Amino acid sequence: MIKNIKCNIKEETVTFDECINCSKQAFNCPVTPEYALYIKSNISEMSSISVTKLLGCPRKAYLLKVIDYDINILDMYYAFRGGLTHLLLEKYNMQDCIIETEFSKEYNGVVITGKPDKIDIKNGIIYDYKTITGRIGDDRTLKWGAVRLKDQIQVNIYKWLVEDKFDIRKLVVVYFGTDFSIKKEVEIRQPNTKKYKDIQQAFDRALLLGKMWNKPLEQAIKEKLLPPIEKTWECDGYCDVNLFCKKLEDKK
């Protein structure tokens, strides 16, 4: 779980409350009180196996739950920008739409939770809103009209999550860049097809996490339940638990 904040100005770790109080008068720091409060209030500490945890390395998802770690609050700006979009959804909620409501469903004995950004019940559409760090026109994937793979997987799992309750006929991802926004429809992938492979891999991660999720780290290590690392670009300094993960590997 998140323990403290790495302060770039003081070059030490501080608590959230210390960061919030300091940001009110520290004008050489880009952190504002509102930003720090938002991160403190909304950063994910969910104890459940959520859809977003199935989109990447399962070892990372588990370690984020069971060990204490520090964050660089400036690295969380993407979450703050995304939160502003969600506040707009809540304030200007359309009729016959469900906004950021948590659902849960069991997959082979593992309970998976998720919060679709918006479900248009009347038209049978799931919307997911993504705020990217730069310009859409500069993004290699988006500028050619494609949808990022993780986002395709996420909305397809959201469909699985709620399809017992609602008739979902379309999946849409909305991207907000610094230049403009775009809406892209995502193909609904069917089980037992070649295109379903990436979605099945996400469900396989759920099964791996289900075996260890409620076990202390020492027990998971002893029972050899830790999954192998799924190497990504995040491993090189962009993962909050990468140093601890490397220590685990060195002990093998």
| Residue 46 pLDDT exceeds 80 | no
Measured distance CA(90)–CA(20) in Å, rounded: 25
On average, the pLDDT of the chain sits at 89
Buried-exposed string 164-193: b where 16+ CB fall within 10 A, e elsewhere: eebebeebbbbbbbeeeeeebebebbeeee
Tokens 């289900």 belong to 210
Read off the pLDDT of each residue in 30-52 and give the average, rounded to a whole number. 82
DSSP 78-116: HHHHHHHHHHHHHHTPPTTEEES--EEEEETTEEEEE--
Cα–Cα nearest to 121, from 148, 93, 92, 98: 98
48/203: higher pLDDT: 203
Tokens in use for 132? Answer: 């990217």
Q: What is the CATH number of domain 76-196?
A: 3.90.320.10
Read off the pLDDT of each residue in 66-91 and give the average, rounded to a whole number. 82
Measured distance CA(159)–CA(51) in Å, rounded: 11
| pTM of this prediction exceeds 0.95 | no
For the chain, what are the domain ranges?
76-196
